[in-house]
Amino acid sequence: MSVSIFDNFLTTPDMVAAFDDAAVVQAMLAFEAALARAQAAEGLIPPAAASAIGGVCNAQLYDIPALVRAGRRAGSLAIPMVKELTRTVALYDAEAARHVHWGSTSQDVIDTALVLATREALRLLDDGLRDLAGQLLHLAEEHLATPVLARTLMQPAQVTSLGFKAAGWLAPLVRARTRLREAAGRALQLQLGGAVGTLAVMGTHGDAVAARVAAELRLKVADAAWHTQRDEWVRLGLEVAVLGGSLGKLATDLGLMAQGEIAELAEPSGNGRGGSSAMPHKRNPVSAMIALAAARRTPQHAAALLACMDQQHERGLGNWQAELAEWPQLFLSAHGALAALGEAFGGLAVDRARMLENIHALHGQVFAEAASGYLASAIGRPRAHELLEQLTRRAAADKRDLEPLLREAIEADPALRARVDPDKLAAVFDPVAATAPARRLAERQLQALRAAMAALDATHPFHE
C-alpha cells in the first residue's frame, strides 16, 4: 500500500509490506489458485484448468499499479485482476481460461485476501507484543523494591514501586495478546459465497469446495458467507484498537516520567536520537512521541469500522469499501507504537537516585496517609487525620519535612508519646519500606503474568 512520509514515520516497513499492493494482489491470486484446485478436486472443472490457473497466480507477472488504477474505474480491484488473470491463463490454455474465478465473486477474493494479509499483520503484532512484554517483565522484576512516586490527577500521591508500575504496563499487553488470538480464531475465516452468499453456481459441491479452499489457505470455514455480517471481523479490529489505547497509556507515562523536571526515566540516546534542531541540550522522548501519535489515530479508525457495519442487504454499497480502506490503518498504528516502545524499553535508563530525590523533595507529605493510619491506633482515626492535616500544611508552608514536625507534636503530647514506637514511626517515612504493599501485589501479579506469557509463547498461531 502507498503511505505518506508522515504515515511512514508512525509505522514500520514490515507492517506496510503486510498490506502493500503486491501482498494483497498475491493473496487474491492465492485465493484464485486454491479455488481452482478445490473445484478440480470436486470434479467441477478439469484438473488441467486448475493447473493452468495456478501456474500464473504470481503477482510478479502483473502490472499492479495498472490493476489499482483499473480497479478504481471498475469499482473493485478484483474485476481487473480477474480479467488479467483470465487473459494470462488464455495465453497458455484458452479452455482453462473459461474456469477462472468460477462461482465466486469480487468480495470473496478481496475479503479472503485481506484475511490472509491480516494474519501476517497479526503475526507482527504478536511478535512485537512478546518482545515488549519480555522487556517490561524484566523491568518489573528488577525494580520490585525501587521507590517511585505514584501520581493521581497529575499530582504526587504516595510512594509505590517501579516494579508495580511496570506490572501495570505489562498486564494489558499480555491480555491484548491473548484476546487478539481469540478474536483472530473467530475472524480469520474464508470468504466464499458467490454472488449473493449461496454458492448457487456450485450446487451441492459448494460446501466441499469451501472446505478445500479453507484447508489450503489455512483458514477457518465460515458457517456462511459473511459479506455483510461483519461482527467477528470488526471485533478483531476493535481488539487492535484497544491495544493501541494500552500502548498510548504506556507511552504517556514514559513521556511524563522522562520530562526534564521529573527525569526518572530516559529513552536511549546517541546517533542523533531525540535531539533538537535548535537546542543542543535536549533529549526528547521520541519513542513515546511516536507511540502516542500512532495511538491518537486509533479511535477514529475504530469508529469508522463500527460506522460501516450497517451494510445493505447481501452486499454493501460504500460501507464495505470504506471498511477496507480503514482496516490496515489500525495495524499500521499499533505496530508503529509497539516498535517505538520496544526501542525505548530496550535501552531504558532508570534513575533510582532521581526517583528518591523527587520523593524527598515533597518533605515527607506523601507519607501523611500512612502516618495517619499508624497514629489512628493510638488516638483514633479522626484525631490522627486532623493532626496530619495540620502538620502537612505547616510542612508545605515552612518547607520543612513532615517527619520531624510529627515527632515534635508527639513529644509535646505525653499521652501520644507513650503509645508511639519511634522505630515504627521511622518505618512509615522509609521510601523502601513504603514499597512493601506494592511489591507484594506486583510479585503475585507477575507470577500470573509469567505463566500467561509462557503459555502464549508455547504456541504460534500466526506462523506457517
CATH architecture of 365-428: Orthogonal Bundle (1.10)
Cβ neighbours around 155 below 10 Å, total: 7
**Amino acid 270: pLDDT:** 63
Report residue 406: phi and psi, to 5°: -65, -40
**Amino acid 271: pLDDT:** 60
Residue 175 annotated among the catalytic residues of the structure: no
Task: Give the containing element (helix H, strand E) for 151.
Answer: strand 147-152
CATH topology of domain 107-189+226-354+438-464: Fumarase C; Chain A, domain 2 (1.20.200)
**Amino acid 273: pLDDT:** 52
Q: Of 434, 307, 322, which is closest to residue 369 (Cα–Cα)?
A: 434
> Which regions of the chain carry the CATH code 1.10.40?
365-428
Active-site residue (options: 72, 87, 276, 440): 276
In the beta sheet, which residues pair with residue 220? 189
**Amino acid 416: pLDDT:** 85
Consecutive 10-residue averages of pLDDT for the chain (464 residues):
81 96 97 98 97 98 96 95 98 96 97 98 98 98 98 96 98 98 98 96 96 98 97 98 98 97 90 46 82 95 97 95 96 97 96 97 93 90 93 92 93 87 91 96 98 97 82
State the SS3 of 211-239: HHHHHHHCCECCCCCCCCCCHHHHHHHHH
Q: Of 148, 127, 150, 151, which is closest to residue 139 (Cα–Cα)?
A: 148
**Amino acid 4: pLDDT:** 81
Active-site residue (options: 315, 354, 383, 417): 315
Q: What residues have CB less than 8 Å from 271, skipping those under 6 apart?
A: none
Q: What is the β-pairing status of strands 349-350 and 155-161? A: unpaired
CATH architecture of 1-104+197-225: Orthogonal Bundle (1.10)
Separation of alpha carbons 29 and 133, rounded Å = 36
What's the N-to-C CA distance of the chain in angstroms? 23
Residue 276 annotated among the catalytic residues of the structure: yes
Angle at 11 between CA 7 and CA 16, to 5 degrees: 85
Dihedral, CA of residue 37, residue 41, residue 45 and residue 48, to nearest 10:
60
Cell numbers 503474568 correspond to 449
What residue type is assigned to position 436 of the chain? A
Task: Give the containing element (helix H, strand E) for 158.
Answer: strand 155-161
Separation of alpha carbons 110 and 80, rounded Å = 12
**Amino acid 5: pLDDT:** 84
The answer to whether the beta carbons of residues 151 and 171 sit under 8 Å apart is no
Q: Of 145, 144, 149, which is closest to residue 159 (Cα–Cα)?
A: 149
Eight-class DSSP state of 20 = S
> Which regions of the chain carry the CATH code 1.20.200.10?
107-189+226-354+438-464
